[in-house]
């Protein structure tokens, strides 16, 4: 675990009688892209939620940058999530009434940035993700692939250290899915952001540094490099 930015040790999590995690250990270094694969119901999303402090494990610890998440007061854990973590989900995370530009600027506005500064940064991130042309459109008027790139721009605009992506291409056809994965991993690598990427995308190997496979709430490690 030496050099890990984020490390989980022996996580257990049950929902009633359903055991979602049965002793998972996981670590990711700064700037590393790790794909989390595995069958439906194997515990991937639960792992991601525990790693990001959204969910508390029943047993085990999650340590981020020297802080054990379970020992932080709620307010500090929420602050950490806003400042150091970014999130991309399968769909539904953009505000449909706002333009794509306003969506990307929103996290900065909520953090207190002036409109002009936030919008300048948003334009830059839309450009990096190759969707500058969506700036004045609302998400429902863009394609699924464009929306996901906008969502990635919004997740990265605050400069997080870790991006948690849960099936970010799950609602896309395989070609647009691959394009979004490539754009997301290229841009995160350029900015030194680590990615925990839960995906079913079969060609993910091309974009990740490492793959872990979750099966029945446990991890099977298969690495390549």
Ligand X SMILES: Nc1ncnc2c1ncn2[C@@H]1O[C@H](COP(=O)(O)OP(=O)(O)OP(=O)(O)O)[C@@H](O)[C@H]1O
Contact stretch for ligand X (CB under 6 A) within 36-44, 79-87, 107-115, 201-209:
36-44
111 binds ligand X (CB under 6 A): no
Question: Could you tell me which residues are beta bridge partners of residue 219?
Answer: 214
Which residues 6+ apart lie within 8 Å of 2 measured at CB? none
Length of the chain equals 225
Of 35 and 129, nearer to ligand X (C-beta) is: 35
Query: Which of 1, 10, 18, 143 contacts ligand X by CB under 6 A?
Result: 18
Which residues 6+ apart lie within 8 Å of 123 measured at CB? 101, 132, 135
Nearest approach, Cβ of residue 1 and ligand X (Å): 23
Contact stretch for ligand X (CB under 6 A) within 15-23, 78-86, 122-130, 151-159:
15-23
Q: How far apart are CA 223 and CA 195, in angstroms?
A: 16
Contact stretch for ligand X (CB under 6 A) within 38-46, 99-107, 138-146, 156-164:
38-46
DSSP 104-160: HHHHHHHTT--HHHHHHHHHHHHHHTT-GGGTTS-GGGS-HHHHHHHHHHHHHTT--
Of 15 and 97, nearer to ligand X (C-beta) is: 15
99 close to 140: Cβ distance less than 8 angstroms: no
92 binds ligand X (CB under 6 A): no
Q: What are the φ/ψ torsions at residue 50 (nearest 5 degrees)?
A: -70, -40
Query: Which of 1, 15, 115, 136 contacts ligand X by CB under 6 A?
Result: 15
17 binds ligand X (CB under 6 A): no
- Contacts with ligand X: how many residues (CB under 6 A)? 11
Contact residues toward ligand X (CB under 6 A) are 15, 18, 20, 38, 40-46
């Amino acid at each position: 675990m030496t050099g890990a930015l984020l490390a989980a040790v022996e996580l257990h999590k049950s929902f009633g009688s359903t055991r979602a995690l049965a002793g998972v250990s996981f670590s990711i270094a700064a700037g590393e892209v790790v794909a989390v694969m595995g069958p439906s119901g194997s515990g991937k999303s639960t792992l991601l939620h525990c790693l990001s402090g959204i969910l508390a494990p029943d047993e085990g610890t999650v340590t981020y940058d020297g802080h054990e998440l379970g020992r932080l007061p709620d307010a500090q854990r929420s602050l950490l999530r806003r400042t150091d973590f970014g999130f991309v989900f399968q769909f539904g995370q953009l505000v449909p009434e706002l333009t794509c530009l306003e969506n990307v600027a929103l996290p900065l506005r909520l953090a207190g940035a002036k409109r002009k500064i936030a919008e300048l940064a948003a334009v830059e991130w839309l450009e990096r993700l190759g969707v500058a042309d969506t700036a004045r459109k609302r998400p429902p008027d863009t394609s699924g692939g464009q929306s996901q790139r906008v969502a990635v721009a919004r997740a990265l605009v605050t400069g997080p250290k870790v991006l948690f992506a849960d099936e970010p291409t799950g609602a896309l056809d395989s070609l647009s899915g691959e394009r979004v994965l490539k754009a997301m991993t290229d841009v995160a690598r350029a900015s030194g952001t680590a990615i925990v990427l839960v995906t079913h995308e079969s060609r993910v190997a091309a974009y990740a540094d490492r793959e872990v496979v979750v099966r029945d709430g446990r991890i099977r490690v298969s690495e390549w490099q």
